[in-house]
Structure 1
Amino acid sequence: MKADPGLYDYWPYRDRPKVVWPDGKRLAFWVAPNIEFYELDPPPNPQRKAWTKPTPDVMPYSYRDYGNRVGHWRMMELLDRFKIRGSISLSVALIDHHPEIIQACVERSWEFFSHGIYNTRYCYGMDEAQERAIIEDAIETVQRATGQRISGWLAPALTHTERTMDLLAEYGLTYTCDLFHDDQPTPVKVAGKQRFCSVPYSLEMNDSITFNVQNITPRRYVDILKANFDRLYKEGEESGTVMCIPLHAYLIGQPYRLEPFAEALDYITSHDGVWVTTGREIARYWLDNYYDKAAADIAARAT
């Protein structure tokens, strides 16, 4: 096995070609709701168990189901309040389970990108034919249900194979959310030499990490989001940055968390230099205007 998968080159943050977002904005801001479906008794994967207890592990299953039944609708109304179009990290099977959610998102012109079929089915151990099948299914199912062809990918439960990025680019996708290595879009190396990039998606700002792993309070989460924004907004004056807030409706949609989070959204969107956008729009703009400059700069530093 290689020590480095070779997906990208080292590229120091300082002294890169300057990025300016549309209309002179300095920070691209996007919100990525993970709209997921978890199976109560998924097919077993020998490398990872979906649930820690023996089946049926009803508690974590039903806890996540709260998001689709209750939390999503609260979260959607909150994003409406600030005119934020969500970029949905979608468990594609949710199209069959809860079409009402999909329709509500379509009506709001939200973006859809794939988060696999279910968040309880992992890519570990998949052969190429199996991985192609889930990519093809995602493209076809989302397009049939929403009219959109997906451009982005966040692997189910962040699980991959050594060929994932190559296959995504081959099928015409343009960005991945599975790399957490930068605060600006960066080129990703793929086998077919297509233009493919990483759009920053944050684990640090992710409500799943802050609430479920770090046990952070809603008020402290607001402080963290504001501090993160302040730094990226300041640096964005020199060269455009990206801030993503990944959300899970079963977490942020809890009654006591929603209004503190609204304070953070109000703070971020009130700044003039913020481009409130989607993952697809960030990728498209950067690929069209900065991919070549980035690739040339990386190549020049390597010589």
Structure 2
Amino acid sequence: MLPTHDRYDYHAWPHRAAYAWPGGARLAVYLGVNLEHFAFGEGLGAELAPGGPQPDVLNFAWRDYGNRVGAWRLIELLEETGFPATVLLNSAMYAYAPALVAAHRARGDEIAGHGRTNSERQSVMAECEEHALIADCTAVMAANEGAAPRGWLSPWIAESRVTPDLLAEAGYRYSLNWCADDAPVWKRTRAGRLLAIPYPQEVNDIPSIVARKDAAAQFADMIVDDFEERLHQTRDGLPQVMGIALHPYLVGQPHRLRQLRRALSHLSSRRDVVWITTAGGILDHVLSLPAGTVPGS
């Protein structure tokens, strides 16, 4: 027998229960906007060009453009196209760019946990250290938002073997770490169930633009093609979730923002057949469904 995570069972796609999102839609779409802060001169971080010796000013400044400029341009685009957002927030952003977090709060966007900084990853931490990290991030966010976040995306999608357990024990209701499905699935933890909401590793600007070096138009086309194919697939009656992962230091660059505007405008024009929502909205709807509807329930 191969080692297993034992978090969920295999559920064949054609054998799933059919259900609808609000308004009878079969496709739910949400944007995951990553607001991230990085240590200067040390730690992890995406690279525009191969980094040299630290301090790596080129790549640090390129990422910081997202918080200083790109994220504000992205908010303008969200307003223009009428999209809500799930903000995946490093808790260090409260000290570094509080006005940016406040702008998303003023829009009514969902604020979800995304660790302390993307200069580190949870998967290399001892359980006590990871427990302390989650507790600290949660407390900081609760103090600033008036309520603890319900969702979590680990920096670098990095989990230890006990991350789902620690998240459930800390009161989280959903995780975006597992990209194993097109619809929500309940995962088992030692503290009860935790909803796995699909988060994209394909329609995600980091793998697309940083790893594969896709052009701005290619990434926009990917969004549109993914959307249209999912609409075609949902004719089988089974609901799907389409997430779009965005990082302001990438899509906030003017030439990419123009192409993203084209893609989001296309999606917005189809509101009559899709549900544009947040990850938290998906959680709320799943919680309203009869037991046994969603795998693992």
* 1:227 aligned residue: 225
Q: 2:214 aligns with which of 210, 213, 216?
A: 216
Confirm or deny: 8 A CA contact 2:198 2:243 kept in the other structure. yes
The AA in structure 2 aligned to 1:212 is V
Q: Which moved more, 1:136-145 or 1:50-59?
A: 50-59
The AA in structure 2 aligned to 1:9 is D
* 1:258 aligned residue: 257
* 1:176 aligned residue: 175
Aligned-residue offset at 1:122: 1.6
* 1:56 aligned residue: 55
- CA RMSD in angstroms comes to 2.0
Deviations 1:250-281 (A, max 9, x none): 11011111121111111112111111110111
Confirm or deny: 8 A CA contact 2:86 2:112 kept in the other structure. yes
Distance 1:295 1:225 in 2: 27
Structure 1 outlier segments of 4+, above 6 Å: 48-51
Confirm or deny: 8 A CA contact 1:112 1:148 kept in the other structure. no
Structure 1's unaligned 5+ residue stretches are 298-303
The AA in structure 1 aligned to 2:26 is R
Residues 74 and 50 of structure 1: CA distance in aligned 2, closer, same or farther (over 3 Å): closer
Distance 2:244 2:287 in 1: 22
2:36 corresponds to 1:21: no
Deviations 1:126-178 (A, max 9, x none): 22221111111122111111223211111112222110001111121111111
Structure 2's unaligned 5+ residue stretches are none
Identity %: 31
Confirm or deny: 8 A CA contact 1:120 1:157 kept in the other structure. no
* 1:249 aligned residue: 248
* 2:288 aligned residue: 288
The AA in structure 2 aligned to 1:224 is M
Aligned-residue offset at 1:41: 3.1
Aligned-residue offset at 1:19: 2.1
Confirm or deny: 8 A CA contact 2:37 2:64 kept in the other structure. yes
* 2:143 aligned residue: 144
Distance 1:155 1:147 in 2: 22
Confirm or deny: 8 A CA contact 1:126 1:161 kept in the other structure. yes
* 2:195 aligned residue: 197
Q: Which moved more, 1:287-296 or 1:79-88?
A: 287-296
2:118 corresponds to 1:119: yes
The AA in structure 1 aligned to 2:112 is F
Residues 293 and 73 of structure 1: CA distance in aligned 2, closer, same or farther (over 3 Å): same
Distance 1:269 1:26 in 2: 16
Distance 2:290 2:178 in 1: 19
Distance 2:17 2:290 in 1: 8
The AA in structure 2 aligned to 1:31 is L
Aligned-residue offset at 1:290: 5.4
SS at match of 1:149: coil
The AA in structure 2 aligned to 1:129 is C
Q: Which moved more, 1:102-111 or 1:3-12?
A: 3-12
Residues 50 and 267 of structure 1: CA distance in aligned 2, closer, same or farther (over 3 Å): closer
The AA in structure 1 aligned to 2:284 is R
Residues 12 and 251 of structure 1: CA distance in aligned 2, closer, same or farther (over 3 Å): same
Distance 2:283 2:52 in 1: 40
2:74 corresponds to 1:66: no
* 2:94 aligned residue: 95
